[in-house]
Amino acid sequence: MAGSINTENGVVVCPECGGKDFQHDASRGESTCSSCGLVVSAQHIDTGAEWRAFTREEKDARARTGAPMSLLIPDKGLSTTIGLSMKDAAGRALNGSTRAAMYRMRKWQIRSIAHSSEIRNLSIALRELDRLASNLGISRDAKDTASFIYRKALSKRLVRGRSIEGMISGALYIACRMHRVPRQLDELADESILSRRELGKCVRQLIRYLDLKVPIPSATNLIPRVASELNLNGKTVVRAGSIISQAKERGITAGKDPGGIAGAAIYIAGILEDDRRTQREIAEIVNVTEVTIRNRYKELARKLAISPM
């Protein structure tokens, strides 16, 4: 069940019910209507040029930038490199002494890049970041943030004596939480050499020493993802969302694994909306056991006075 977004005077409107409130899942580029649960796909940002050109000359004349500046390239893609061709700007061959000077300059430039330990470290880290993010399907936004966090860690000498891989994975995990991308610590740990435990340590250090404010992972963010993997219908999704917000108001969620809460809410919502999924199916996706889903759902049903039977 998916639709495309309609726009009314620049305001995004649900094509199904006209609702204007959406929950966004940046990692999948999907939004879910909060009132009817319709999943809409949308390109949130148009990254193309804002002008049009009809001929090659027009295009060349209007293009005013080079490659986009990116935090994902060690020198942000902004540095000038000395080219290999031994010609001057007008295309004439260089004379002997200029030529020798160019050789020397190029040599030093390469050395200063390759031999600066910080840049070398960063190159390794960013390559690893690329690998992790593409394996986990994480958006560029989150990747940029991770790279920013890692740079900060590097400049504060936090990376010294710790593994590059741990720190970059940790940075990515934090970035995911900041962007409310529902990726769990386990998923990152599975993807890297590190254990969940070690990764957790890196994450805590990053947060502490860089004084980052990181939103607490919330059960709400997991809903769209579970919903799409289980093909839940829209009503179930909305129902699950409202169960979670009720639970939050009553303070039942504190200290509990968000996966367990989300799973339980979906299980209950499934029964209420006649859109049942087994505890096992749900448990697998939110990375908890059936027992935990059971315990959470019993608790939710009791404290919120919902009788799913």
Question: Which positions lie near DNA, rule CB under 7 A?
Answer: 196-197, 200, 204, 255-257, 260, 276, 278-280, 287-292, 294-298
Q: Rounded to an integer, what distance in angstroms lies between the CA atom of residue 116 and that of residue 121?
A: 9
Q: Tell me how far, at minimum, the Cβ of 304 lies from DNA, in Å.
A: 16
CA angle 166, 168, 171 (to 5 degrees): 110
Q: Tell me how far, at minimum, the Cβ of 255 lies from DNA, in Å.
A: 5
Nearer to DNA, 14 or 206 (CB): 206
C-alpha gyration radius of the chain = 25
Nearer to DNA, 122 or 300 (CB): 300
Nearer to DNA, 276 or 303 (CB): 276
Q: Identify residue 13 by its one-letter amino acid code.
A: V
Nearer to DNA, 84 or 305 (CB): 305
Beta-carbon count within 10 A of 253 CB:
23
Nearer to DNA, 133 or 185 (CB): 185
Strand-pair partners of 3: 40
Nearer to DNA, 224 or 258 (CB): 258
Contact 68, 50 (CB under 8 A): no
Q: Is the dihedral of CA 288, 294, 299, 304 positive or negative?
A: positive
Q: Tell me how far, at minimum, the Cβ of 289 lies from DNA, in Å.
A: 4
Nearer to DNA, 26 or 271 (CB): 271
Q: Tell me how far, at minimum, the Cβ of 307 lies from DNA, in Å.
A: 11
Nearer to DNA, 171 or 199 (CB): 199
Q: Is the dihedral of CA 33, 38, 44, 50 positive or negative?
A: negative
> Comparing C-alpha atoms, which of 71, 47, 225 is closest to residue 146?
71
